[in-house]
Amino acid sequence: MVRETRRFTDQEDKYIKANLSRLSCTDIARHLGRNPASVVSRATTLGLRTPNRTVRRFTPEEDDFIRDSAGRLSVQEIAKRLERATSSVYGRGRKLGVQFNRKKRTARPTLTSKGYVRIPIEQDGRRCWTLEHIHVIEQSIGRRLQGAEQVHHINFDSTDNRLENLHLFSDGVAHNNANASVFRLVGELLERGAIHFNRATGEYELCETSK
């Protein structure tokens, strides 16, 4: 049986465009419930990534440059000067038997299993990881969160960590009340006919009169 290909929706395309610069394709795929390879392919189709090129062999001059520079330049800098991918230069260097200067790699944000963005920050000269929404709030209020304080995403998108989309609650009870209020509103909107449940899609939708 041939499995039908699930096309990317406009919402998925918007999410890819908004997050590709700060999240890996694997994290985006996890959030969308997609295969990472399909996200890479879609990003390429949208013009957000450069398609893979034919492998270009290293020239003798490039090999000499790698040998001469390996002890004084990082592999990233060598790759930049040769206009090569860092992974390609690193692999070539191993074949040539050279050792590169180590350079701390630029860490990229990742998604936790609960869908929150985790980012690297420098603290006391060392890299550590923290949740982005908590970091944004702490930078705004000028202190660390205390005790039971919790951060709420106003639009319920746990990856949207703009300050205007975050609200600080004093404790978990207040946070839970905010979440519960949404479900109460859904009930009221259903009674008023402002929204309805579409059994075909399994989603709540605005009624035509409310659009």
pLDDT of residue 4: 56
Q: How open is the CA angle 47-50-54, to the nearest 5 degrees?
A: 140
| 3-class SS shares of the chain: helix, strand, coil, % to 5 | 45, 15, 40
Token pair, residue 200, equals 């075909």
pLDDT, tens digit, 9 for 90 and up, residues 175-195: 999 999 999 999 999 999 999
pLDDT of residue 2: 44
- Where do the domains of the chain lie? 110-170, 178-211
pLDDT of residue 104: 54
Q: Which CATH number fits domain 110-170: 3.90.75.20, 3.40.710.10, 3.40.190.150, 3.40.1050.10?
A: 3.90.75.20
pLDDT of residue 211: 54
pLDDT of residue 91: 87
Average pLDDT of the residues of the chain: 87
Q: How confident is the model at residue 1 (pLDDT cuts 50, 70, 90)?
A: very low
Checking if the pLDDT of 127 tops 50, the result is: yes
Instruction: Give residue for tokens 């990881």.
Output: 129
Q: How far apart are CA 119 and CA 132, in angstroms?
A: 6
Q: Which residue has the higher pLDDT, 113 or 4?
A: 113
pLDDT of residue 116: 95
Q: Is 108:24 a contact under the CB 8 Å cutoff? A: yes
3-state DSSP assignment of residue 190 = helix
